[in-house]
Structure 1
Amino acid sequence: MPLYVVQPPKARPGDQLAVLSPSFAAAGAFPQVHEQAMRRLAEITGLVPVEYPTTRRVAATAMARAADINAAFADPQIRGILAVIGGEDQITVIPHLDPELVRADPKPFLGTSDNTNLHNWLWGNGIASFYGGSSQVHLGPGPAVDDVHARSLRAALLTGERLEVTDPGESEDVGVDWADPRALTSFGEREATEPWSWYGPTRSVTGPTWGGCLEVIEWIMTAGRFPADPQVLAGGVLLLETSEELLPARNAAWIVRSLGERGILRAVDAVLLGRPPVSDFTRRPPAPERARLRAEQRDALVDVVLRYNPEAVVCAGVPFGHTRPQWILPHGGSITVNGIEQRIFADYR
């Protein structure tokens, strides 16, 4: 049976929004980008950002970061929570969280990458969230906030509307180094996106979502933090994307194959594959090679998914996860993957 999750109530302009660093405290390492992000966050949403003791504390302990998460859920004036960025050790924060606090006062949580840990934990405790959002990546840098990000941010925190997820037409894997003053005014090297690729039967699927960063999902599975019965995802939409670690296509496919062996691929009715990063600050292959690497990952993952579930509707290249512009998507909420019209709709209620 699918897991029942609660959709947290929306905030209203003037409410307080907790801004936390559950993983890496980029806000402390690069404060100018963070401070610009906070100004833009207030302008776009009308919410009042509230920082906590570890928001800017680099190398804070897992227990200290968990204490801030618990405090944010316990405070009735806080009406939403946004992660500054991801990291790589949030898995050690999860054991220190108090599920009774989140059940007593559910609030929208937004984050990406390593925050897959928190999304899975909230989902396991019956609370929906939103996969995406990083003040340090999507609000602070560059000349402005991308339109698709701003619209999905407002929908997730405030309006709860239904939006069509569209292709912004351009993408960057990595922006300007945050230590460079130009990071405050310049985007990274952007290029035109390829059309999304559709596979599987020509049908429309609407269902609750689960997933996130593929590498972190592997950690979650290894730590035993997923329900024993994969049918909790029955009829759902699986979200999968890869990180800036630039995992080779075959390694990504091995993880997805393990999800197939676990029964997860057979349980869902649709799979969305995020546009993968293929370059970083030290490696930027020529454009034809970047296109080849993206296609290589797409083909490898689609092959595995359809091998385990040929009835799944699959769309690859969707701009969520480790890409910019980025759509924030429901996690535990509803998405429609329409393979007939080749369109995607997200419900942010």
Structure 2
Amino acid sequence: MTDMELISPRKAAPGDKVAVVSPSFAAPGFAPAVHEQAMERLEEVTGLVPVEYPTTRRLGATPQDRAADLNAAFGDPEIRAVLATIGGEDQITVIPHLDADLVRADPKPFLGHSDNTNLLSWLWTHGVAGYYGGSTQVHLGPGPAVDPVHAASLRAALLTGERLEITEPGEAEDFGVDWQDPAALTSFGDREPTEPWTWAGPERSVTGRTWGGCLDVLPWILTAGRFPTDPAVVDGGVLLLETSEELPPAREVGFVVRSLGERGLLDAVDAVVVARPPTTSFDVELTPAERAEKRAEQRDVVIETVQRYNPEAVIVVGVPFGHTRPQWILPYGGMLTVDGAEQRVWADYA
């Protein structure tokens, strides 16, 4: 990346404390049993000790109070990582109250997805890499166990710093069991077999730093002016794109990707990695064929739009990160290798 050096915070060690915060929606206050199981599993999987903050379970906390918890966590030398419980829809109002000096004085990894794109991108602009994924309420608390790919990438992000191949688990769910149902603690949602990833662009290998995140959130960041004006900051990088449980139509997804192209971001990056999108929710039911059609519509519009602006970009669609589960946690500001010749993806968690 041009003139963009990012720090990869040092790893934690078993027994270290990690902050568990709710920068957006306080899901632990809504479903405490799922949260408490998530905390038990966090310790079991990593050996780390979770520390809650005043707004971790407080529904309706102000942006200022949520920011105060983040500042406290980033400023505490005993805290060696910060994990979000879940996303939400108003983290953009928290960002102005954060203290960048605290982050730069003692960089530590932040893990989250969805609305946490706001915080990850803010850290990125201040020179600190994080990880896209790992929201505890979604990926640790529900179900009979932690998915193996999630556990592996969680340990790599927090503890070991390994280089791992991002593989396809072979099944996926769009959403889990209602957290108010006791079965949420013991059962996954409805899972179905996945289709192969789709590759497009030249058959070459690209290794670069990542930026991007949830397509619902990226326009907010850009509209608020919280990203460098020069697209050269992502030169040679890898753009991560995924969509949320809001289930935006393919046409709207294309509009957002087109806007990224007009901003010069698509031309600057060397690769684009697109997640398998959710196509159903508690309120939207589709047949397997209809779900496959929705995924194909989004895939086609993203590939067509990216190639319109950058025919040399290596593109892969269907990677299991973001809002479906099982979920890989991916570096955000760290290094990702997208190999269009071998059709493989590798993540460096150093």
Q: CA deviation at 1:232?
A: 0.2
Number of the residue aligned with 1:227: 228
Number of the residue aligned with 2:322: 321
Q: CA deviation at 1:284?
A: 1.7
Aligned ranges for residues 1-349 of structure 1 at < 5 Å? 1-349=2-350
Distance, in Å, in 2 between the alignment partners of 1:255 and 1:9 is 34
Distance, in Å, in 2 between the alignment partners of 1:6 and 1:164 is 22
Secondary structure in 1 aligned to 2:137?
Answer: helix
* Letter of the 1:109 counterpart: F
1:184-239 CA-to-partner distances (Å, cap 9, x unmatched) read: 00000000001000000010000000010011001101111110100000000000
Secondary structure in 1 aligned to 2:225?
Answer: coil
1:96-130 CA-to-partner distances (Å, cap 9, x unmatched) read: 00000000000010000000000000000000000
- State the TM-score, normalized to the length of structure 2: 0.99
1:248-295 CA-to-partner distances (Å, cap 9, x unmatched) read: 000011000000000000000000000000000011200000000000
Secondary structure in 2 aligned to 1:341?
Answer: coil
* Letter of the 1:147 counterpart: P
Distance, in Å, in 1 between the alignment partners of 2:7 and 2:140 is 27
Distance, in Å, in 1 between the alignment partners of 2:253 and 2:180 is 31
Distance, in Å, in 2 between the alignment partners of 1:131 and 1:40 is 19
Task: From the superposition, tell whether residues 263 and 59 of structure 1 become closer, same or farther in structure 2 (CA, over 3 Å).
Answer: same
Distance, in Å, in 2 between the alignment partners of 1:114 and 1:194 is 27
* Letter of the 2:290 counterpart: E
Secondary structure in 2 aligned to 1:215?
Answer: coil
Q: CA deviation at 1:92?
A: 0.1
- Note if contact 1:2-1:234 (Cα within 8 Å) is conserved in structure 2: no
The alignment covers a number of residue pairs equal to 349
Distance, in Å, in 2 between the alignment partners of 1:19 and 1:247 is 29
Task: From the superposition, tell whether residues 237 and 2 of structure 1 become closer, same or farther in structure 2 (CA, over 3 Å).
Answer: farther
Secondary structure in 2 aligned to 1:157?
Answer: helix
* Letter of the 1:285 counterpart: L
Secondary structure in 2 aligned to 1:44?
Answer: helix
* Letter of the 1:86 counterpart: G
Q: CA deviation at 1:2?
A: 4.3
Task: From the superposition, tell whether residues 229 and 167 of structure 1 become closer, same or farther in structure 2 (CA, over 3 Å).
Answer: same
Secondary structure in 1 aligned to 2:216?
Answer: helix
Tell me which stretches of 4 or more aligned residues in structure 1 moved more than 2 Å.
none
Secondary structure in 1 aligned to 2:29?
Answer: helix
1:2-57 CA-to-partner distances (Å, cap 9, x unmatched) read: 41100000000000010000000001110000000000000000000000000000
Unaligned runs of 5+ in 2: none
* Letter of the 1:251 counterpart: E
Distance, in Å, in 2 between the alignment partners of 1:59 and 1:317 is 35
Distance, in Å, in 1 between the alignment partners of 2:28 and 2:151 is 20
Distance, in Å, in 1 between the alignment partners of 2:29 and 2:177 is 18
Distance, in Å, in 2 between the alignment partners of 1:236 and 1:315 is 14
Secondary structure in 1 aligned to 2:38?
Answer: helix
Distance, in Å, in 1 between the alignment partners of 2:74 and 2:12 is 14
Secondary structure in 2 aligned to 1:123?
Answer: helix
Structure 1 vs Structure 2 CA RMSD: 0.4
Secondary structure in 1 aligned to 2:311?
Answer: coil
Unaligned runs of 5+ in 1: none
Q: CA deviation at 1:330?
A: 0.2
- Note if contact 1:2-1:233 (Cα within 8 Å) is conserved in structure 2: no
Distance, in Å, in 2 between the alignment partners of 1:301 and 1:183 is 34
- Note if contact 1:129-1:332 (Cα within 8 Å) is conserved in structure 2: yes
Q: State the percentage of identical aligned residues.
A: 70
